[in-house]
Amino acid sequence: MNSILLDSANLIADMALQKGRELSFAPLTVVVLDAGGQAKVLKREDNASLLRPEIAMGKAWGVLGMGFGGRELARRAQQMPAFFTALNAMSDGRMVPVAGGVLIKNREGQVIGSVGISGDTSDNDEICAVHGIEAAGLIADTGRND
């Protein structure tokens, strides 16, 4: 499998949203991209604020484009702000380098897509993304190195 399948993408989004409701998080928006950066699923909960789809997309797109999770993106953005300013300009502002953007890997360790979630804190968004990915039997790469 080189790219995430629609059934898996739907399961990830549904399980991520379910986790957010279970933990009483603010209304979430979930975007699942395939390995080529195309949207497979976008789900926006009732009462999610206006820019949540764009933020979730920026989280998912950034991790997929750079090849590492949102936490690593955030670390590098802090260490190399000029480089990330240039990346954001080159990507027409589509990168959001924070937690909540998570790579999706298959059991062989290949990147098959990404998830971006927005609506609560970035840490809480990430909790939901990881839950959804693992519920689908896949591997979540948050960029955490601890």
Domain ranges of the chain: 6-138
Q: What is the pLDDT of residue 146?
A: 61
Please tell me the predicted confidence (pLDDT) of residue 1.
56
pLDDT tens, 31-67? 999 999 999 999 999 999 999 999 999 999 999 999 9
72-80 mean pLDDT? 93
Is residue 144 over pLDDT 60?
yes
Least confident window among 8-12, 121-125, 128-132, 141-145 = 141-145
The hierarchical CATH code for the domain 6-138 is: 3.30.450.150
Q: Per-residue pLDDT averaged across 78-86, rounded?
A: 92
Long-range (24+ apart) CB contacts under 8 A made by 106-110 are 106/1, 106/138, 106/139, 107/138, 107/139, 109/139, 110/1, 110/2
What is the DSSP secondary-structure string of the chain? --S--HHHHHHHHHHHHHHHHHTTPPP-EEEEEETTS-EEEEEE-TT--TTHHHHHHHHHHHHHHHTS-HHHHHHHHHH-HHHHHHHHHHTTT----STTEEEEE-TTS-EEEEEEEESS-HHHHHHHHHHHHHHTT-EEE-----
What residues does 26 pair with on adjacent strands?
A: none
